[in-house]
Amino acid sequence: MNSKFDYIIVGAGSAGCAVANRLSENPNNNVLLIEAGKSSHPLSRLPASFALLIDNPSANWRYRSEPEENTSNRQIPIPRGKLLGGSSSINGLVYVRGNKLDYDTWAQMGNTGWSYDDVLPFFKKMENYQGEVSELRGTDGPLKISEVIDRNPIYDGLFRAAKEIQIPFNKDYNGDDQEGIGYTQTTIFKGERMSAEVAYLRPIKSRRNLFIITNSLVKKLLFSGKKCIGLEVLSKNKIIEYSVSKEIILCGGAINSPQILELSGIGRRDVLESKDIPVVHELNGVGENLRDHIAPRMVYKITKPGIAYNDKARGINLIKQVANYVFKRDGFLSLPSAPVVGFFKTRKELAAPDIQVHFIPYKVVLENGKRKLGKEPGITCTINQNLPESKGSIHIKSNNPEDPPSIKYNFLSSQLDRDTLVEGVRLIRKIMESETMKEFCGEEMQPGESFNSDDKILQYIRDKAETVYHPVGTCKMGFDQEAVVDKNLKVHGLKGLRIADASIMPTLISGNTNAACMMIGERCADFISKN
């Protein structure tokens, strides 16, 4: 393999796989894709494997946040995929584009070309939607998207209970209107995970102009003046240099992209100098503007026998589920993390839903980031605020690329965030304590009925809430003092370097971030092709 390429893509996650596919469509482009992790994991195609891979060091970076007072001085787990496909190979397989207003807000902030109408063609381009045909959905793209096929009686109960409080059933929350409750759209096809690697890389690995290397950690980018000319890679205890003639595209995600920039001398002067890194380019926004969806989890006891998966996933029942999956590709093992999802308003006057809820038909126990089935049958409701105001930061702890960075979320620093999550808990109580749900559910197991005041609910959130693993924003797109890339994803003040991943999002989107990351990859490749 040559050591010089037209394009080098750093990170084979959701965005990186999309960029690699589209750039290598042109046979005149010589493309290198570099991944720090391995090529695959034997469990990654199994949908239910997200519970096993969420803390597995062989497929996961297993980051942890710094202890902070607002979250009871806990270290919050931050799983990130460390294999081809990145986090799309270990995530909960929930497919959400976000709300129209999310992207219109990006455009209103000065990022022209990023409104909903601008990004919609790229969502459609990547989708192969298996549901009802609509002018808003794509059907010819590489990513197959299907609706949950499981039909548990409790799902219908949730829909009827939501209707009691004027929350509509929504057949396609990725369509014209996001608000409501409905079956989850998933990156699952015929019972198997459709990661970015499966969708974008597997079909094109035979392209002679695409080179993919794994188990290769980027140490730093290389520059000639203000132009990026290559990078150093640590592979098998050897340092290898690769040079680039056109561009390097960072697709390391919200954690690794700012880390690589700082290791390369790009960022805040005080951060770089404190770690003995020569300043190549001062850019104060690198690592700032960190946002994520903090998520308290509520658990209710299921009293109706035979519907909770806590019972179906043990002993002889588990053997039956395995057989069902092997021969039919359905059942418990074929499900995403949440078969039902809702987008709700905590205040009627809002223009768009401000919370998202994942409904999980079993009791989930989280212990230090490890997801386990509870012994008792239950249903878990995971609540997150769509657009939190609280912002944190990510910065390197040392000049060693193998050291994890310091991740400070600063969760719950905004009064709006605190109020919204408390109201989210109260809204779920209205649904779960409705007459309809009395047929299925008993007591509130977490946090419990004693947590009845705003102060007590907030303390429960501080003590127990983790995230739904959607870090974004640390190399934000824009033109203010915190901006790192422009609207074409070029790094401000540098040549030959773009960033395409969740880090460029100026704000969070209203929903799971995997779909938006792939869209960003598609968008980046389009920018490059039109240069």
Token pair 């561009």: residue: 247
Give the single-character DSSP code of 81: B
Which position among 293, 358, 470, 492 bears the catalytic label? 470
C-beta atoms surrounding 407 within 10 Å: 23
Tell whether omega for the bond before 47 is within 30 degrees of 0, i.e. cis.
Answer: no
Distance from C-alpha of 13 to C-alpha of 200, rounded to nearest angstrom: 10
Q: Model confidence over 120-137: pLDDT tens digits?
A: 999 999 999 999 889 999
Instruction: pLDDT band for 3, please (50, 70, 90 cuts).
Output: confident
Q: Model confidence over 381-413: pLDDT tens digits?
A: 999 999 999 999 999 999 999 999 999 999 999
pLDDT at 374 over 80: no
Q: Model confidence over 243-297: pLDDT tens digits?
A: 999 999 999 999 999 999 999 999 999 999 999 999 999 999 999 999 999 999 9
Q: Model confidence over 455-512: pLDDT tens digits?
A: 999 999 999 999 999 999 999 999 999 999 999 999 999 999 999 999 999 999 999 9
Instruction: pLDDT band for 150, please (50, 70, 90 cuts).
Output: confident
Residues with Cβ within 8 Å of residue 119, at least 6 apart in sequence: 103, 519, 523
Residues with Cβ within 8 Å of residue 102, at least 6 apart in sequence: 116, 387, 507, 508, 509, 510
CA 405 to chain centre: 19
pLDDT of residue 366: 67
pLDDT of residue 322: 82
Q: Which helix (DSSP H) or strand (DSSP E) does residue 444 occupy?
A: strand 441-446
What CATH number is given for 149-183+294-385+418-464 in this structure?
Answer: 3.30.410.40
From the list 299, 293, 345, the residue with the least C-alpha distance to 460 is 299
C-beta atoms surrounding 323 within 10 Å: 11
Mean pLDDT in residue range 72-82: 96
Instruction: pLDDT band for 365, please (50, 70, 90 cuts).
Output: confident
Distance from C-alpha of 425 to C-alpha of 41, rounded to nearest angstrom: 36
pLDDT of residue 326: 83
Q: Model confidence over 156-197: pLDDT tens digits?
A: 999 999 999 999 999 999 999 999 999 999 999 999 999 999
What CATH number is given for 1-145+191-292+393-411+470-531 in this structure?
Answer: 3.50.50.60
201: which 2 tokens?
Answer: 């890389």
Instruction: pLDDT band for 233, please (50, 70, 90 cuts).
Output: very high
pLDDT at 527 over 70: yes
CB 471 within 8 A of CB 328: no
pLDDT of residue 515: 98
Helix (H, G, I), strand (E, B) or coil at 468: coil
Token pair 């809002």: residue: 350
pLDDT of residue 332: 82
Residue 59: is it exposed, middle or buried by C-beta count within 10 angstroms (0-12/13-18/19+)? Answer: buried
| Per-residue H/E/C for 121-159 | HHHHHHEEECCCCCCCCCCCCCEEEEECCCCCHHHHHHH
Residues with Cβ within 8 Å of residue 312, at least 6 apart in sequence: 318, 320, 321, 331, 332
Residues with Cβ within 8 Å of residue 100, at least 6 apart in sequence: 116, 178, 352
Angle separating helix axes 415-432 and 454-464, nearest 10 degrees? 100
Instruction: pLDDT band for 86, please (50, 70, 90 cuts).
Output: very high
Distance from C-alpha of 299 to C-alpha of 294, rounded to nearest angstrom: 17
Instruction: pLDDT band for 448, please (50, 70, 90 cuts).
Output: very high
395 a catalytic residue: no
Q: Which helix (DSSP H) or strand (DSSP E) does residue 520 occupy?
A: helix 514-529
CB 343 within 8 A of CB 180: yes
pLDDT of residue 513: 98
Name beta bridge partners: 31.
7, 210
Give the single-character DSSP code of 200: I
Distance from C-alpha of 339 to C-alpha of 149, rounded to nearest angstrom: 9
CB 342 within 8 A of CB 359: yes
Mean pLDDT in residue range 96-111: 98
* Domain limits, the chain: 1-145+191-292+393-411+470-531, 149-183+294-385+418-464
Distance from C-alpha of 265 to C-alpha of 123, rounded to nearest angstrom: 34
Token pair 């009925």: residue: 449
Helix (H, G, I), strand (E, B) or coil at 82: coil
CA distance to 101, 122, 205, 417, 478, per residue, from 108 (Å): 10, 19, 39, 22, 11
